[in-house]
Amino acid sequence: SISDRPTISLLPTSQPTFQASCSYLVNASYSELMLENYTSLEDAYDSLTYGHANYTCAESMIIDNQQYEKAIPYLWCVLPHCHANCPGTSCPTKLVGIDDADECESAVYNYLGYVHRKKDTPDYEAAEEYYTEALQLWSSNCGALEYLTELYVDRSNETYATKTLTQLCTDCGHSDATTKAAISYLKASDMGVPSIDVCNTNNATKDDDAGTSEKMDETTSESGFLGARVGSIVYGVIAACCFVALVFLMRWLRKSVKGV
């Protein structure tokens, strides 16, 4: 649980003399980037050797390379720079359009939640706490609302998944990319998509039902058509058999008459 973690000073480390490229960090091993001695994962990244962590490289680790374990200490190194450098050109999330200190921290906490949910041994409890922290800092963080919805789907909590999806649709709109992603996640799950007016999923449900009905009608129609075809064939066979039998009967009668 993140509430049990040790309290450390969230201040940026001194300016390093070397700044490793993101590609180098992505290709480096987990242990290579860690200090030999550290208190917790919050101060484990060796920034003095490899330079300050930055948000865009964290995204590359997480989204492009699925390096969830490695991203945890790296993200903790990004976090102190939010309040130290936002707003401003050095704000860690400046390149993604976020220049507010609280929103920057919210974005980092959101990814901390994501990596804890996606790592090999998921920690759903910690992930939920990080998402909650992200939303406390920025209540309309659409990404955090999307990921929190997905977490509740992962945990088969339909009530909270529906509640969070409703908030996502309300705050971010039913056509936002994060909303669409959350709905797709629900659709692919056993839970399915709940019917929510503000999410415009009522029509989607009706469309699905209509599609199913149309398929059933098509199947019924095809079955009726095939039945009619089979009936016609059977009738034709019977008629042909009767005709052949009648021909043989006529020939037999003629022979019988001649014999008399």
Average pLDDT per run of 10 along the chain, which is 260 residues long? 45 62 96 95 94 95 98 97 96 96 98 98 98 98 98 97 98 97 97 96 58 50 51 59 62 56
Query: Cβ neighbours of residue 155 under 8 Å, at least 6 residues apart?
Result: 124
List the structure tokens of 77.
């190194």
What is the sign, positive or negative, of the torsion defined by CA atoms of 21, 25, 27, 33? positive
Alpha-carbon distance of 234 to 242, in angstroms, equals 12
CB 73 within 8 A of CB 44: yes
Alpha-carbon distance of 138 to 133, in angstroms, equals 9
Instruction: Write down the domain spans for the chain.
Output: 14-138, 139-203
Give bridge partners of residue 34 from the DSSP assignment: 45
pLDDT for residue 202: 86
pLDDT for residue 215: 52
